Chain A
Amino acid sequence: MIGLLWILLLALAWTAVNGEFTGGQLAAGLVLGTLITLFVRAPGSDYLRKAVVLFGFIGFFLWELVLANLRMARDVLSPRQRFAPGVIAVPLDLETEGAITAFSTLLTLTPGTLSLDISRDLKVLYIHDMYAADAGASRMAVKSGFERRIRRLLE
C-alpha cells in the first residue's frame, strides 16, 4: 500500500518536472516509479553500490557490443577469411536460472560468440566462437569478462 503511494508520488513528480500533465507523461512516470521502487526495495542491499555495479555493467556491455561489431565488420570485409570458428563448451559457475539466461543472451551480442545450447544439468553452455583455435583462451575470456560481472550483479 505504502509502495503504491510512493509510485504515485514519483509519477506526479515526473509529470511536474516535465512540465506537462498528459496521459503519456503520467504513464511513463508510473513505469519509472515502479522500476525505482522495485530497485530501491530490494532486500538487504546498499543501493549505491548496486547502482554503480549496474551502470558499470551497462557501460561494459555497450563497449562489448561496439567491439563485437568492429570485429564482425573486419571478418566480413577482409578479402581472406582468417577466422577459425568452432563450438566450444564453457563450464558455468552461475547457478540461478535467471543469471544463466542473462549470461547466454548477452553472450550472443559480444565479440565472436553465439550461445547454442545448454547441457541438461545446466552446468555447461555450448557456444559457437569465431576464434576457437585456442579453446582454453576462449573459455577464459568469456568467463573472466561477462560471467564474473553477471555473478556480481545477480547472484
Chain B
Amino acid sequence: MQAAVTGTLVLVGAGLMLIAAIGVVRMPDLFTRMQATTKAATLGAGLVILGTAVNFATFSVTTRAVAAIAFVLLTAPIAAHLLGRAAYFLGVPLWEGSVRDELRDRYDWETHILDSEVRPEGALPPDHPRA
C-alpha cells in the first residue's frame, strides 16, 4: 500500500517535470515557457517530495518534506513574477501568435512608469527599447 502510494506520487511528479521540460523546449516564447515551468515543475517537485515522505514515513523526513514543499510553492511564483516582469521590460518579444497586449500602451518607456489606464493623448509610447 505504502509502496503503491509512493510509486504513484513519484512517477506522476517525475512525469509532470518531464512535461515542463518538453514545454520549455516546445513553447514559442518566454512567457508561455514560464507558464509551463512554474506550474508543472512546482507540482511535480512537490509530488516527488511527498512521495519521499510517504516512503520514509518518519517524523524528521516528513517535516523536511513539508518545509521543502512549502518553500517550492512560495518561491516559484515569486521568482516567475520577478523574472517575467524583468523580461517584459527588457523587451523580450511576445510570440507572434499572441492575441493581445494590454500592458504595452500603459507603460511609459521613457519614465518607466506603469499606469493603470491608457495614456490620454492616445499617442503610442516609444517602442520597446531593444525590440
Residues of A within 8 A of B (CB): 18, 24-25, 28, 65-66, 68-69, 72-73, 75-77, 81, 83-89, 91, 104-109, 112, 114-121, 123-124, 126, 128, 130, 132-133, 135
Contacts and interface: CB of A to CB of B under 8 A. Distances in A.
B19 A119 contact: no
A72 B77 contact: no
Contact of B114 (A28, A66, A117): A117
Contacts of B101: 86-87
Interface residues of B, number: 48
Contact of A116 (B27, B81, B97): B81
B103 interface: yes
Contacts of A124: 106, 116-117
B8 interface: no
B42 A119 contact: no
Contacts of B97: 81, 84-85
B35 A69 contact: no
A128 B115 contact: no
A72 B35 contact: yes
B19 A73 contact: yes
B2 to A, nearest CB: 20
A72 to B, nearest CB: 5
A112 B35 contact: yes
A47 to B, nearest CB: 23
Contacts of B116: 89, 91, 119-121, 123-124
Contacts of B27: 76
A120 B99 contact: no
